Amino acid sequence: MQFFQKTVAGEFAIVNRIIVDQLQSDVGLVENIGHYIVDAGGKRLRPVLVLLSALANQYQGHNHLKMAAVIEFIHTATLLHDDVVDVSSLRRGRETANAQWGNAPSVLVGDFLYSRAFQMLVEIADMPIMGVMADATNLISEGEVQQMANAGNSQITEGTYRQVIYRKTARLFEAAAQVGACLAGSGQSAMASYGKHLGMAFQIVDDVLDYQGDLDKTGKNIGSDLAEGKMTLPLIFARDNAGPEAAKLICESVSQRTSQHFDTILRYIQNCGGLTYSLATAEKEVTAAKAALSGLPNSQYKDVMYQLANFSLSRDA
């Protein structure tokens, strides 16, 4: 169990039971695929963030438990859809759902998880939280479409890259932290800022790991971003700073969506400082996330949120 899960171990166990209970369906394939991806492991970082935010803001009720499950269902739905769009075959060290059952069942079960999440939101019956989640899921969808449209485009700028990762990744972190505070009735702005910057750092580091990670730890094939034609921050920096020969090869590889020259491109990225620059950019996000915690009362939950920001930068999976 991760350190940030241990602090809310009792609540975390209840959330996991809620997730299992809410996966029940009369349609066997829904349960099979739902359990397959939910049981795949992962850090459950986003639902834990709901718990930490609520408790750090001194929430006394029980709706943070169901809200954490809602966030996990939405995240899981995006993973199912992502893997279909990206034609991915490996996630968390094992076959993706679409590799096991096909694209159509994966998309439809993703839709089931989205709709189940909103059924649970109705049960919580908190209109401001519904507003946060409706806006977040809409923006996440835009981010996914934007990333798909950008695939194979070697001219993506750092600004566009940041916009995409905010929409497709950081926005759900932001929502998770914000709804915890919303339940507590305080600190929404600070928690939203914390979640946003934590999510930005998390995604930038994830993109770095695609160039220097270990398959056994990350659970996904190294170089998959290049093969999918994604211009992530290490690649953008190398294109702009490693010289014309490097830029030509990077642009051709992204346009053709091939990782054939991955080793050569990795050397370009390393030699020009692309990984160092990307990690330094992530560190700035971590600093901003920690600054957002300054107004919280001292507690073990605040301490863990601070540590979680540092973890997002140093993790290797």
pLDDT in tens, 89-112: 777 667 888 888 888 888 888 999
Q: What is the mean pLDDT of residues 59-74?
A: 96
**Axis crossing angle, helix 127-150 with helix 63-85, rounded to the nearest 10:** 20
Domain that holds residue 141: 3-314
Categorize the per-residue pLDDT at 216 as very low, low, confident or very high, splitting at 50, 70 and 90: low
- The DSSP result for 40-63, as a single string, is T----HHHHHHHHHHHHTT--SSH
User: Given a cut of 70, is residue 250 above it in pLDDT?
Assistant: yes
Query: What is the spatial distance between Cα 237 and Cα 158, in angstroms, rounded to a whole number?
Result: 8
Q: How many structural domains is the chain composed of?
A: 1
Categorize the per-residue pLDDT at 4 as very low, low, confident or very high, splitting at 50, 70 and 90: confident
Query: So what's the pLDDT on residue 217?
Result: 56
User: Given a cut of 60, is residue 118 above it in pLDDT?
Assistant: yes
Q: What is the pLDDT of residues 127-181, one digit of tens each?
A: 999 999 999 999 999 999 999 999 999 999 999 999 999 999 999 999 999 999 9
Query: So what's the pLDDT on residue 215?
Result: 59
> Whose CA is closest to 235, among 316, 313, 151?
151
Q: What is the pLDDT of residues 256-304, one digit of tens each?
A: 999 999 999 999 999 999 999 999 999 999 999 999 999 999 999 999 9
Q: What is the pLDDT of residues 273-282, one digit of tens each?
A: 999 999 999 9
Neighbours of 182 (CB within 10 A): 24
- As to burial, measured by CB atoms within 10 angstroms (0-12 exposed, 13-18 middle, 19+ buried), residue 69 is buried
Query: So what's the pLDDT on residue 249?
Result: 97
What is the DSSP secondary structure assignment for residue 187, as one 8-state letter? -
Task: Catalogue the E-assigned strands of the chain.
Answer: 90-91, 94-95
Which CATH number goes with the domain that contains 309? 1.10.600.10
Query: So what's the pLDDT on residue 14?
Result: 95
CA pseudo-torsion sign 78, 53, 135, 111? positive
The reported pTM is 0.93
